[in-house]
């Protein structure tokens, strides 16, 4: 079975999509791109995440040709392929698309995701833009979503949902979760009628801070400054 590791990851993270609340039923889809082979592994269309087996995951080229798989691919395979074509060189090797509650609420309000909390820096930017509405599963949506995405790793799709990407499925999935939390916070701020939005400079400072956050190994001879 080709791309077995990627198929297993898609099955595993599909279940996480459901249990984390990022997705209900068969909404949303996930994929991983193998840049060397030029192939993506993508979740099948209309199969529940807990019913998906590794052999249900579809392996396809970015032009839409199915290389292996007995199922139909996700109806948004063109959206996933569009991001790999445009952004694989920038580290877009996995795409997570959700209809998660709060991100979708903002997308339905016509609002971009703003820097109401510094966690937006995990997307590498200070604002997650909003792609104008067009019909799901169309080449136009793929094209418009890629074009709307600025220097960050995510975009909201008007009246639809969220696309987040990363170098691994784990990173893309975590980013989708962070942005759903951020969307909830922004929505709450909007309901309360007050919102302090951080500046691009403040978010740039967070991005620098993130480079040494967590279990990173300090360079030899350096000491922690706090
Ligand atoms: Zn969708």
Q: What is the DSSP string of 49-90?
A: TTT--GGGSEEEETTS-EEE-SSPB-TTHHHHHHHHHHHGGG
Cβ(29)–Cβ(80) under 8 Å?
A: yes
One DSSP character per residue, 99-136 reads --HHHHHHHHHT--EE-SSGGGGGGTSSEE-EEPP--T
Q: Calculate how far, in angstroms, residue 98's C-alpha sits from the geometric centre of ligand 1.
A: 6
Q: What are the catalytic residues?
A: 76
First to last CA, the chain: 50
pLDDT of amino acid 225? 42
Which CATH code fits 4-210?
A: 3.40.225.10
pLDDT of amino acid 24? 80
Please name every residue paired with 41 in a beta bridge, in sequence order, or none if there are none.
32, 59
Q: Calculate how far, in angstroms, residue 104's C-alpha sits from the geometric centre of ligand 1.
A: 10
Q: Calculate how far, in angstroms, residue 76's C-alpha sits from the geometric centre of ligand 1.
A: 7
CA 121 to chain centre: 14
Q: Calculate how far, in angstroms, residue 26's C-alpha sits from the geometric centre of ligand 1.
A: 10
Q: Calculate how far, in angstroms, residue 163's C-alpha sits from the geometric centre of ligand 1.
A: 9
pLDDT of amino acid 28? 87
Closest among 179, 178, 163, 170 to 84, alpha carbons compared: 163
Tokens read off for 148: 């709307």
pLDDT tens digit sequence for 175-205: 999 999 999 999 999 999 999 999 999 999 9
pTM of the model: 0.92
Q: Calculate how far, in angstroms, residue 24's C-alpha sits from the geometric centre of ligand 1.
A: 11
Q: How far is CA 208 from CA 93, 107, 201, 226, in A?
A: 23, 29, 11, 16
Taking the C-alpha atoms of residue 35 and residue 74, their distance in angstroms, rounded to an integer, is 20
């Amino acid at each position: 079975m080709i791309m077995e590791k990627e198929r297993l990851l898609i099955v595993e993270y599909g279940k996480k999509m459901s249990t984390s609340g990022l997705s209900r039923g068969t909404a949303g889809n996930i994929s991983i791109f193998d840049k060397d082979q030029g192939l993506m592994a993508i979740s099948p269309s209309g199969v529940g995440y807990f019913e998906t087996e590794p052999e249900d995951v579809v392996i396809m080229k970015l032009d839409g040709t199915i290389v292996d798989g007995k199922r139909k691919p996700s109806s948004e395979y063109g959206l996933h392929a569009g991001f790999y074509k445009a952004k694989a060189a920038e580290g877009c090797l996995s795409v997570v698309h959700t209809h998660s509650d709060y991100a979708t609420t903002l997308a339905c309000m016509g609002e971009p995701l703003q820097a109401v909390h510094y966690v937006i820096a995990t997307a590498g930017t200070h604002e997650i833009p909003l792609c104008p509405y067009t019909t799901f599963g169309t080449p136009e949506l793929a094209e418009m979503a890629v074009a709307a995405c600025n220097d960050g790793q995510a975009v909201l799709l008007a009246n639809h949902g969220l696309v987040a990407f990363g170098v691994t499925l784990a990173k893309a999935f975590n980013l989708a979760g962070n942005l759903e939390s951020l969307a909830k916070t922004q929505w709450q701020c909007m309901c309360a009628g007050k919102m302090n939005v951080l500046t691009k400079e403040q978010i740039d400072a967070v991005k620098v801070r993130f480079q040494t956050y967590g279990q990173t190994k300090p360079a030899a001879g350096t000491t922690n400054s706090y």
